[in-house]
Structure 1
Amino acid sequence: MEPLTLVLVFLISCVLCLYTWDRINKRQNLPPGPTPLPIIGNLLQLKSGKMLESLQEMRERYGDVYTLYLGPRRVIVICGYDAVKEALVDHGEIFGIRGLLPNVELYYRGHGVVFSNGECWKQLRRFSIMTLRSFGMGKRSIEERIQEEAHYLVEAFKETNGVPFDPICHFSQVAANIICSIIFGNRYAYEDPEFRRLMHIIDDIFRSMTSFWGQLYDAFDLLMRYIPGPHHRITMYLFQLDEFVKKKMEIDQKTLDPSKPRHLIDSFLIKMEEEKQYPFTQFNMKNFYANTTVLCIAGTETVSTTLRHAFLLLLKHPNIKSKVQKEIDQVVGRQRAPNPEDRESMPYTDAVIHEIHRYANVLPMNLPHAVSRDTEFRGFTIPRGTDVFPILSFVLQDPKYFPDPFTFNPDRFLDQDGNFKKNEAFMVFSAGKRVCLGEGMARLEMFITITTVLQNFEITTPIDIKDLDISPQMVGFSNVPRPYKISFIPR
């Protein structure tokens, strides 16, 4: 390397160190936290593959609200139900903006309902909720689609002839097909090449985001965006998903009837046409792609991962599984498909599904929030724009609200008479202004899918249930179940 180049590298490094050190030391009544190092922040204090364990250790030392540096990025970590509720619900206007998600921000650039803020977010969220209701949530149409998809899943399981297999692909296909029916207006056959390509793209995106390189990008985004490596593949995968949606859109445009929207794509295109005369409309092509692709990814990964957790937990606890099947037989029987109205008459099944959600804890870190202005919180000052991590894992495992939280126990959601009992700390879908807009649909998918499968099958595994490890495994930002094999034996 030439001397001049060495000097430039040295000077740039010095500037970065001074810049980072200056930011770190401008602490004006920030919450306490571990002492950061220039450039790398507190990354050395985070155990590889044990993020939540590391955060819990810091919580025990610094309290429920503390400051952490992921590289040069400063975040405020909030732990426990009381503190998280105070932030997201009691002060929702201040804590209700989206924080930084570096490994997708470079592509989405603040577009779409998940990544936007301000007026853009308000309009897109209102549109998304209304559209989901029109094509699903609360209407018979989506209930029937979920029932239909559960039926196809049952048929697919019958074809396995009781041979043990890893169910990851089947559960992903079910979740993807339901969201596809809302976005594109139709389901796919599981062997359809176009559907398999969509599944492959979504899987690539998820793997890239949760990989080591993806996490490194999150910590050092200002530097990593200029360094070549596999962390840049996510942009390519997101572009491929955009192209998939684009082809569907171009086909649907030819038969679009503004008076009869068939699916989410139609609804967005109609809205774009209605507002094309407004120069600052949020209904543009970039928001169209961002909204559509994010719903596609989120609607597939979270539900499919939770279903995988569900059947692993039911294998581990055959007595719980049998009690659910008994309730299904009593309320639904074997002659008709379960429907959403059955849930009110099935408190034990409802309690089991709630405990599956709580125990699986699929999104333990939550998505990052940020504060919209300088704010006082629990005696500390959080500067405007600072990212905030309201940790859902520490809410769902809060012993004050969930005694013996690391035990799978559906009875915690039942009262002494066996009726379903709500728990205010059940924040699986987050809370406040940024609560998951697909919560209702996700709950419905879980209920219909689980009850339909258990209505039709006994489940077994070739592994001794004593050896089944049900503890969630954190991969990137998500808790996934450990691999397992399951057999579906017709009842």
Structure 2
Amino acid sequence: MRMCTCTHTHTHNSSFSLSFQFSKKDGNVFSVQVGTKCIVVVSGLQLVKEALVHQGENFVDRPTSPVSAEIFGSFGIVFSNGLIWKQQRQFALSSLRNFGLGKRSLEERIQEESRYLNEAIEAEKGQPFDPQFQIHNAVSNIICSITFGDRFDYHDSRFHKLWHLLVEACHFQGNLWSMASPAELRSSLFFFVLKADFLFSAAKVQAEIDSVIGQSRQPAMSDRDSMPYTNVVVHEIQRISNILPSSVPRVTTKDTILAGFHIPKFWRKISIDVTQIYKLGGNTWWKRACLGEQLVRTELFLFFTALIQKFTFQAPKNETLSREFRMSLTFSPLPYRICAFSC
């Protein structure tokens, strides 16, 4: 296992690029010395599966940091460990199910919100606009309607202020639960416009939607199995526009051998490259899988399909969409504008 020492500050997308360069040069298991901390980085499909599935118990715990200890203590399902983590995870999962996770009622909430989102985009009348806020508002309203029993109007000034505060907080510490799902949908729409007719046919997606769903009703999850091309496009966009640079760090619970390398018990941080996850169908197969993954997958399919059903998206005339991205806790496109024309 090679040791790579970071001696300068990385900004924007450079840390992600460096990780990729190190893996190409030093292999799929390497360590990086960042200040006083040594971080082991694991990448590559087979090694990620080996670490998270076959040796999942050895890599299940989270490291502690002064910031997380001060904010969360030993609580919360992200940074807690052991029995407390198991109890709180089970409580969170049962609560989500009580709120409708996996039930038809939740799908109906998403369909209702997609109507509001379509109306907001229709109001742009084909003029260039940044879809960022509408998408964040729409996806956030699903959680709000579940927990508060109400949604926020797209013109609600209080919600605008709250949203901007959350975005700023995400750049420092953030909340993956509230930011990841909108980032997935916004990135997917961006890459659909950017990659259309290069990696896939936008016309073919719309033709499949017209054939299976038509224009008289909204998309439903029961349509997904009858729409193989659209389903492949959604998954391929997720793979290309991966929104996380790495998994939440882990520590080893005991002395572990991975790819012939010895990683001691309580080794400070293990960072997992998540770019391989979509090749294995998501993250439901590891022990600390995201509790909201089923919800995110449902939202992504229903919102994305409903948008492509009603609109043709294009870059504004004489404007080029940038492939650069902004990185905080998640990757997201730089601010961009698109035009939406009714089908």
Structure 1 length-normalised TM: 0.65
Matches of 1:64 and 1:159 in 2, distance apart? 49
- Is the aligned partner of 1:362 residue 2:243? yes
Seen in structure 2, the aligned counterparts of structure 1 residues 196 and 112 have a Cα distance that, compared at 3 Å, is same
For residues 438-491 of structure 1, the C-alpha deviation after alignment (integer angstroms, 9 at most, x for no partner) is: 1111010011101111111122221458x333x352513422113221122222
Seen in structure 2, the aligned counterparts of structure 1 residues 383 and 73 have a Cα distance that, compared at 3 Å, is same
Q: Aligned match of 1:142 in 97, 106, 116?
A: 106
Matches of 1:186 and 1:170 in 2, distance apart? 17
Matches of 2:158 and 2:82 in 1, distance apart? 36
**Is this contact kept in 1: 2:31–2:39, CA < 8 A?**
yes
**Is this contact kept in 2: 1:164–1:485, CA < 8 A?**
yes
1:216-227 alignment to 2 at 5 Å? Answer: none
Matches of 2:258 and 2:215 in 1, distance apart? 54
Q: Aligned match of 1:312 in 161, 181, 190?
A: 190
**Is this contact kept in 2: 1:150–1:174, CA < 8 A?**
yes
Matches of 2:328 and 2:304 in 1, distance apart? 27
Matches of 2:2 and 2:195 in 1, distance apart? 42
Matching residue of 1:391: 273
Matches of 2:227 and 2:297 in 1, distance apart? 14
Which residue identity is paired with 2:126? G
Matching residue of 1:445: 299
- Is the aligned partner of 1:111 residue 2:75? yes
Matching residue of 1:44: 7
Give the fraction of aligned pairs with identical amino acids, expressed as a percent.
35
**More moved, 181-190 vs 444-453:** 181-190
Seen in structure 2, the aligned counterparts of structure 1 residues 300 and 463 have a Cα distance that, compared at 3 Å, is farther
Seen in structure 2, the aligned counterparts of structure 1 residues 101 and 447 have a Cα distance that, compared at 3 Å, is farther
Matching residue of 2:134: 170
Q: Which has the higher contact order (CA 8 A, sep 6+)?
A: 2
- How many Å apart are 1:361 and its aligned residue? 0.6
- Is the aligned partner of 1:473 residue 2:328? no
Q: Which runs of 5+ in 2 are unaligned?
A: none
- How many Å apart are 1:208 and its aligned residue? 2.4
Seen in structure 2, the aligned counterparts of structure 1 residues 178 and 299 have a Cα distance that, compared at 3 Å, is farther
Which residue identity is paired with 1:67? S
Matching residue of 1:488: 340
Matching residue of 1:91: 55
For residues 75-127 of structure 1, the C-alpha deviation after alignment (integer angstroms, 9 at most, x for no partner) is: 11111011111011001111011234665443122321111111111111112
For residues 182-238 of structure 1, the C-alpha deviation after alignment (integer angstroms, 9 at most, x for no partner) is: 2223212222344334323321211223xxxxxxxxxxxxxxxxxxxxxxxx8xxxx
> When the two structures are aligned, how many residues end up with a matched partner?
338
Matches of 1:95 and 1:463 in 2, distance apart? 50
Matching residue of 1:458: 312
**Is this contact kept in 1: 2:212–2:223, CA < 8 A?**
yes
**Is this contact kept in 2: 1:46–1:54, CA < 8 A?**
no
Seen in structure 2, the aligned counterparts of structure 1 residues 389 and 472 have a Cα distance that, compared at 3 Å, is farther
Q: Aligned match of 1:130 in 94, 103, 111?
A: 94
- Is the aligned partner of 1:181 residue 2:63? no
Q: Provide runs of 4+ in structure 1 moved above 6 Å.
A: none
Structure 2 length-normalised TM: 0.91
**Is this contact kept in 2: 1:369–1:389, CA < 8 A?**
yes
For residues 14-38 of structure 1, the C-alpha deviation after alignment (integer angstroms, 9 at most, x for no partner) is: xxxxxxxxxxxxxxxxx3313xxxx
Matching residue of 2:116: 152
Matching residue of 2:280: 425
Matches of 1:101 and 1:489 in 2, distance apart? 48
Which residue identity is paired with 2:335? P
SS of aligned partner of 2:7:
helix
Seen in structure 2, the aligned counterparts of structure 1 residues 474 and 369 have a Cα distance that, compared at 3 Å, is farther
Matches of 2:227 and 2:288 in 1, distance apart? 30
1:2-401 alignment to 2 at 5 Å? Answer: 31-34=1-4, 42-44=5-7, 47-49=10-12, 50-100=14-64, 103-209=67-173, 297-319=175-197, 320-386=201-267, 387-393=269-275, 395=276
CA-based RMSD:
2.2
- How many Å apart are 1:163 and its aligned residue? 1.4
